[in-house]
Structure formats: structure tokens, C-alpha cells
Amino acid sequence: MRQKTVNEYIKGKFGGKLYKIALNAGFTCPNRDGSLGNRGCIFCSGSGSGDFSEDSGLSITEQLELGKRKVESKMSRNPGGYIAYFQAFTNTYAPVEKLKSVYMEAVKHPEVRIVSIATRPDCLGDDVLDLLSEINRIKPVWVELGLQTIHEKTSEYIRRGYPLKVYDKAVRNLRVRGIEVITHVILGLPYESREEMLETVKYVGMSGADGIKLQLLHVLKGTDLAEEYLNGKFRCLTLEEYAELIRDALEVLPENIIIHRMTGDGDKKILIAPEWSGDKKRVLNTLKEYLK
């Protein structure tokens, strides 16, 4: 593997391992509040892809402290710090005053080293970009953009709600402000060929993004995608197909892009398929074998 993993990148920049705490600031999404739609993206769970985030009824500080306790109980040594990860729903989709309030609460936590914000490329107005620049001058900001695919037919199918040029503009606007960009890609989307998936990965590598998250498609209960899967409209990738795809994806990515993820965990309480993805140890061992 020619690229650095996110842990290697963080260790080189911060001198040690940082642990991510997933937060829920109580936001919504234009794909859910009626602006673009009411049902969300076809694959998105009821928690807005924040199935492992903390309770939105708690303050950001309370969520961080709860997340710290969970992390520290599993670790043999004290973490070197934390990444405050605004994960659930669209985390730049609110009045800028509200955004500033929740971001600054995370920034002021003495053990938070990075603020990572998951959002949509079409929810980055100039006022939000100015705020992100302000925060970035205090502590590093990562913005995680949900692209998933470059192919318009798939984009329409998953109800993404914006054209590819919006992603390109978002990357430019963030990079010119010195903000790190991480792009989310889903591998295994229905009706996409292996070649199309690799085209998306290659595009992201050339788009100016600093990092990439390669995410396996999960079929989750309560989603429109689940209904299509249960009706036999498509099949999920096998573990071997996925491992081969990851190997080839890394080959088409430039050396300087940071690999933030090569798989992902679906909440086992709502996971329908692929069942093999629930065995994390097996998945990681298989990927290791294919990447030798």
C-alpha cells in the first residue's frame, strides 16, 4: 500500500494516536426536511448515518465526555487526544450562529485536537465557509463530503440531490481556505459496474481531496434500499469481490491521498446485508491478505 493510512498521517502530524468521538448536534438534512425530499438518500438510516454517534439530547461537551469514557475503557493506555466528529445528518445545514455555537463548544474542549464535520457539498455557503475558516485558525478542521459516486444515473437513483459540479466547487472552496477535505465513496452501489466504481475512486484522487473514505454499501432496516434488496432487485458484493475492489482502488489513487477508511461497520441491530461485514476481524484479515 503506497498511501498513508489516517493513523499514520495523524501520528506524523500530532505525535500519537487520536480517537474519534462521533457526535450528534441535532441537525437535519435537505433530503429530509422537504427542501430536496423527505425520505433521505436511499441507503441512509433513520439516524442520518450517525448510528454510532452520541445522544443529540446531550450537549456537545457531555457527548465528548461520554465518548471519552467509552474509548478509555477499551484502551490499554491513555489516548493522545480526540477528534470531534460531527457525524449525524448534514452538519453545516443550520443557521451559522447555531453552527458556530456547537463547533466552538467542541473546539474549547482541551483534549479535542481536530474538528471533523460530515456534510453535503451543496450545504457550504459563503457564510459557512467563512466560519469554517475561522475555526480552522484555532484548531484543524476536516470537512467530510458525501459524494458516494460520480455517475449521474446512480446519483439520481440514490437521491443524492446535487450534480457533480457542486462537489468540485466545494472542494475548491475548501482547499483555497486551507481546510482539509475527505471524500466519502460507497462501493457496491446497485447497478454500478466494477469499472464505474473505480472511475469514481480515480476521480476523487484527482479532485483535490486530501483524503478518501472507501465505504462498503450496507443494506439497513428501514431504508428504501432495504426494500429493493429484499425484493431481489440487486445483490451485495462478496467479501472477496470487495477485497479485490479495495486493492484495485488503492492502485488508481495517488500516493499523497490519505486513506481514512477501507471498509465500515453497519449497526448489527439494523444490518440486513452483507452479513459478512458484521465479522470485522474476518474483513480486516481478508483485506490484509489481498493488500500484501
What does the angle CA 208 – CA 291 – CA 181 come to, to the nearest 5 degrees? 20
Average pLDDT over every residue of 90-111: 97
pLDDT of residue 46: 72
pLDDT digits (tens, 9 = 90+) for 177-215: 999 999 999 999 999 999 999 999 999 999 999 999 999
pLDDT of residue 233: 95
Phi, psi of 86 (to 5 degrees): -80, 100
Q: Which domains does the chain have, with CATH numbers?
A: 6-219+249-264 (3.20.20.70)
Q: How far apart are CA 124 and CA 239, in angstroms?
A: 36
Closest CA to 121 of 59, 30, 32: 30
54, three cell numbers: 452520541
Q: How far apart are CA 83 and CA 76, in angstroms?
A: 19
Structure confidence at residue 240 as a pLDDT band (50, 70, 90)? very high
**Average pLDDT of the chain?**
94
Per-residue pLDDT for 74 more than 90? no
pLDDT of residue 49: 61
Structure confidence at residue 1 as a pLDDT band (50, 70, 90)? confident
pLDDT of residue 78: 67
pLDDT of residue 264: 82
Q: How far apart are CA 29 and CA 37, in angstroms?
A: 9
Per-residue pLDDT for 129 more than 90? yes
Q: What percent of the chain has pLDDT over 90?
A: 86
pLDDT digits (tens, 9 = 90+) for 152-171: 999 999 999 999 999 999 99
DSSP annotation of 268 reads T
pLDDT of residue 77: 65
pLDDT digits (tens, 9 = 90+) for 251-260: 999 999 999 9
Residue matched to cell numbers 460520480: 150
Q: How far apart are CA 212 and CA 105, in angstroms?
A: 27
List helix spans (H) across the chain: 6-14, 60-74, 96-107, 126-136, 152-158, 164-176, 194-206, 224-230, 239-252, 280-290
Structure confidence at residue 80 as a pLDDT band (50, 70, 90)? confident
Per-residue pLDDT for 111 more than 90? yes
- H or E segment at 22? strand 19-23
Phi, psi of 178 (to 5 degrees): 75, 20
Per-residue pLDDT for 246 more than 70? yes
218, three cell numbers: 450496507
Q: How far apart are CA 269 and CA 51, in angstroms?
A: 10
DSSP lists the bridge partners of residue 62 as none
- Close Cβ partners of 95 (under 8 Å, ≥ 6 residues apart): none
